[in-house]
Structure 1
């Protein structure tokens, strides 16, 4: 029969004896050679001379402590851990054999524990380390009985009803006995509640520092006064008459924290006002907007941003109480319905500027009413109008010649190339501003057959988010657009197919006059084309080259200082005030800087 290598737990003394070369065999040999001291005791005990340390212990009854038998004259390997003989044996062995370092450390630790004493009141030195009951079984508030087996029947210690024991059964407190599930819940302990899993330590993610180089200037006296007024805006009566010169600046300051309320909005009201701008009307309910119309009856221009609480009732007051209004600009008039729009157009036949953003209820009937009652319209913005369609555009085309500003961007569904080209054939002659961004069906044909054919005075063009435009198509358009004035504002952001050819053609055509350029998302544009911005864009004020991957510190230096051509510095964006560089990973925080220029989005990739 083969032996396996599976062994049970051993005590510290057994390990010590093993390290010292003392085993059960050597002890048995020593006893066999020793003369008997008390033969009668050996006969009465009937214990074997020596045996394995894993011999089965004597069985004990439930709930009672097992006491070991009297010590025999010989050595019993099961009693090697008995504390009564440990000390003498250790002393004798220490004299005969030099202790190893691990054994010496264990011996010192055992002596230290013996000196300190045990904190467990239930600990008994007579207990065998191999056969003593586990402390985890000493449950039920001091009762020595273990938990009854699963599936057996017990009586509840509280309600005295019989129940089946499960692994969720809990001991009564105070004991003895166990509780049924109902009584356990009633005591405030849910036996089925899962223990909360330990929270994992969150590993901090890598952080990137986004650097903005903005020149801080000492505040002017006017800005300090504006800050003082906005701080004490609620004490409006104490402010008195502060004049109308800086009203717009105060309105901007209030809008940063949305502090404009029906109470302090009266600061901006005056019967002599001809123009009123509120940059954040979020907290102005419908009655407050009605008061605005009553107290500013002579307004000719009105702008309200974030006017989501403007409803039909207030807008009808605008129709009746603002007869001189010629220009209105609204951001977010969600609640105004088609009937109210049509009533407004009928009451304002002299309207020249109608600019709205985010109006889901403005439909084709509203467009028909606008064209019918406001024939002298010069500015038209219908941005983010959900019902925009080809039919919508065909109704607007009835306005005829005279429109100089047109914004029909961000529709839900794009209009077709043919419809937009037909629109340019009507409005193109006098248009100076055009925004058709996010009409995703626009192709290169819109440029060649529409813009190149019909526009003559265009100086602001916004063509963002048009995936069908190609690099060659845009390059050919600007390259052949001879005789047309250069652009002042050009935005072609998020057109991922555009690249170096398009940018070089743009700078060659419009670089000498261009003030704002946005090529955000042109990831394929090359280094030479980016340098062309510095060579030709001498009038640029704002530049957005975010996500142009070839932007680096050397190109920035060329923009600010120009390039050395045969010993002479030429070019350079000397008038630039703002540059956006989001996603340009080759730009570092050591890039060239210029006094008076704000640089946003330098990602230095510094991990904290």
Structure 2
């Protein structure tokens, strides 16, 4: 509200006596004050800065004590009532005409440097020409505040104080405090959030928490093709039976295949106990396979509850004792085949009683990891069981060349496994054994015999005319020329192709061996292991597509295997079921796929 309007009878607010007195003399503030305390013009002219909560003192002036009682300082200036500037003489003449004294002339001295404090009244607030806050003023203040620099740092806890990254004012941290969009690691107060167009009370979006990968999930191998769809009803029933096996009293006649599946499920869950094992016992069973350890008493129970057994296969039978083996020999009158993995506790008296009890009817003895079998036991075995057709003495610590010489009388052998002996076997001992028993051999396993060389290959050709399965895994002394000549000789003699060939870790084997192998056995081989053939070429590997009946292939660490190699195998081998490619680092995610075929070991899938 202007002075003119006030003079015309407009409503005025309350004012102090000093303000009214000065207004009567025509003395007014040089700068209009507002409730926002805008004193930028005063500061620009080096005038005293106004404060909201007390007197403002100019460092260059000595104010009288009266100035301490006011909240604003006023400076004499031109009056807006007239067209000109009032001078001291004019004011003095006017006062003389009105009969007033000159005591107040000190307030209108134009050159006075002293400032006088005056209280703020409603007249100043109502002035029409007072600057009002607006967008331009707010932008200016925001621009001035944005120049404040705040050191970046982490967000404090809720309830603590921080400096605003925009205006540098202190504010209280809440759960909704927002980070400055252009100054990282600094945070905004509520007013600056509104200024920057940010909702200060929006919910903070939390980063998604990554789920910890379980150790067993990391160890899973990713397959390219997985059979999808609904599980067979029989498989679901078998899984339920395995889960609640303790509550099942009798399974009844569910078939040998399904019974074997149930036994595997129970063994995998470590639930095969003396009580649950009785579910698989039956007086009519002639074949029994267990995949987990039982107690010594449970092994003895087998001979009582399954008296008609002809074949007994026990895996992980570390608790099998000599007493149980002796009971088998006495009670199992029809037992013909025994397969044991890890019978560590069976001593010589147990083996002796078993060999003498089963005698000539024993046709198969397959033992892996038994420290008690030595030359004496082998001689007793050959003498007591001359009709053996299957013999496995794998990982026997005391097996040596003398033990091989004791096996010469076993002329009916069709399967011979003398892998991983405790003492290295020589070429001469193996050749001598093959010359004695090789006429009927169909399966020969010489795995982990590092001292054998190419010299045994001609003996295999000469003395094993019916051989169908051959394992020379980890026979590292074999050469590419020797293996190539071996398969070439078999083809030249029109020998039937081999079905199983295991030449793992033949580090010196190359294209010549693979091409000769495919030329002889490519039409018949079903299982082929070429792991570790690091120098074989991609072109030779591509010829594996001619193996029409190939079901299992291992080309791990064959460095030349590519996506096109796998494509040739999948297209050419119509019966292929699995391909292992561990260490083939040229394979990519674009490796071809085929329904029903598992490609195992792709590096990009296992990382």
Bin of the TM-score, shorter chain as denominator length: 0.5 to 0.7
Instruction: Please point out which of 480, 483, 497 is paired with 2:508.
Output: 497
Contact 1:515 1:539 in 2 (8 A): yes
Matches within 5 A, 1:336-347: 336-347=346-357
Deviation at 1:251, TM superposition (A): 1.2
Matches within 5 A, 1:521-536: 521-534=532-545, 536=546
**Is residue 541 from structure 1 mapped to residue 560 from structure 2 by the alignment?**
no
Matches within 5 A, 1:45-64: none
Question: What corresponds to 1:322 in structure 2?
Answer: 332
Instruction: Please point out which of 351, 356, 368 is paired with 2:367.
Output: 356
Instruction: Please point out which of 399, 404, 424 is paired with 1:388.
Output: 399
Q: Deviations over 1:65-104 (max 9, x none)?
A: xxxxxxxxxxxxxxxxxxxxxxxxxxxxxxxxxxxx9xx9
d(CA) in 2 for partners of 1:278 and 1:265? 9
d(CA) in 2 for partners of 1:326 and 1:210? 39
Matches within 5 A, 1:292-303: 292-303=302-313
d(CA) in 2 for partners of 1:392 and 1:433? 19
Question: What corresponds to 1:480 in structure 2?
Answer: 489
Deviation at 1:258, TM superposition (A): 2.1
Q: In structure 2, do the counterparts of structure 1 residues 294 and 558 end up closer, same or farther at CA, with 3 Å as the change threshold?
A: same
Q: In structure 2, do the counterparts of structure 1 residues 345 and 229 end up closer, same or farther at CA, with 3 Å as the change threshold?
A: same
Question: What TM-score results when the alignment is normalised by the length of structure 1?
Answer: 0.62
Question: What corresponds to 1:552 in structure 2?
Answer: 562
d(CA) in 2 for partners of 1:360 and 1:579? 36
Instruction: Please point out which of 521, 531, 534 is paired with 1:520.
Output: 531
3-state SS of the aligned residue for 2:441?
Answer: coil
Question: What corresponds to 2:474 in structure 1?
Answer: 465
Deviation at 1:398, TM superposition (A): 2.4
**Is residue 434 from structure 1 mapped to residue 451 from structure 2 by the alignment?**
no
Question: What TM-score results when the alignment is normalised by the length of structure 2?
Answer: 0.63
Deviation at 1:272, TM superposition (A): 1.1
Matches within 5 A, 1:83-482: 211-217=222-228, 218-237=230-249, 239=251, 242=254, 244=256, 246-280=258-292, 282=293, 284-349=294-359, 350-399=361-410, 401-448=411-458, 450-481=459-490, 482=492
Q: Deviations over 1:200-222 (max 9, x none)?
A: xxxxxxx9996322322331122
Q: Deviations over 1:418-470 (max 9, x none)?
A: 0000011011111000001111111001102x112211010100000011101
Deviation at 1:605, TM superposition (A): 7.1
d(CA) in 2 for partners of 1:593 and 1:574? 13
Instruction: Tell me the number of residue pairs that the alignment of Structure 1 and Structure 2 aligns.
Output: 400
Q: Deviations over 1:343-372 (max 9, x none)?
A: 100001110011111111111111011000
Contact 1:210 1:604 in 2 (8 A): no
Q: Deviations over 1:251-281 (max 9, x none)?
A: 122222222111111110111111111122x
d(CA) in 2 for partners of 1:560 and 1:581? 13
Deviation at 1:243, TM superposition (A): 5.5
d(CA) in 1 for partners of 2:407 and 2:365? 13
d(CA) in 2 for partners of 1:578 and 1:235? 38
3-state SS of the aligned residue for 1:517?
Answer: strand
Query: Greater CA deviation, 323-332 or 209-218?
Result: 209-218
Deviation at 1:394, TM superposition (A): 0.6
d(CA) in 1 for partners of 2:380 and 2:541? 47
Q: In structure 2, do the counterparts of structure 1 residues 553 and 593 end up closer, same or farther at CA, with 3 Å as the change threshold?
A: same
Consecutive unaligned residues in structure 1, runs of 5 or more? 1-100, 110-114, 117-206, 562-571
d(CA) in 2 for partners of 1:389 and 1:411? 7
Contact 1:208 1:604 in 2 (8 A): no
Q: In structure 2, do the counterparts of structure 1 residues 245 and 464 end up closer, same or farther at CA, with 3 Å as the change threshold?
A: closer
Contact 1:519 1:544 in 2 (8 A): yes
Question: What corresponds to 2:50 in structure 1?
Answer: none
Contact 2:409 2:437 in 1 (8 A): no
d(CA) in 1 for partners of 2:353 and 2:505? 39
d(CA) in 1 for partners of 2:460 and 2:249? 55
Q: In structure 2, do the counterparts of structure 1 residues 424 and 586 end up closer, same or farther at CA, with 3 Å as the change threshold?
A: same
d(CA) in 1 for partners of 2:302 and 2:489? 51
Q: In structure 2, do the counterparts of structure 1 residues 243 and 424 end up closer, same or farther at CA, with 3 Å as the change threshold?
A: closer
Contact 1:413 1:439 in 2 (8 A): no
Deviation at 1:533, TM superposition (A): 0.6
Consecutive unaligned residues in structure 2, runs of 5 or more? 1-144, 151-162, 164-169, 172-217
Contact 2:225 2:595 in 1 (8 A): no
Question: What corresponds to 1:597 in structure 2?
Answer: 597
d(CA) in 2 for partners of 1:452 and 1:486? 12
Pair member with larger Rg = 2
d(CA) in 2 for partners of 1:527 and 1:299? 51
Deviation at 1:313, TM superposition (A): 1.5
d(CA) in 1 for partners of 2:417 and 2:231? 37
d(CA) in 2 for partners of 1:443 and 1:516? 23
Question: What corresponds to 1:582 in structure 2?
Answer: 582
Q: In structure 2, do the counterparts of structure 1 residues 273 and 315 end up closer, same or farther at CA, with 3 Å as the change threshold?
A: same
Contact 2:273 2:295 in 1 (8 A): no
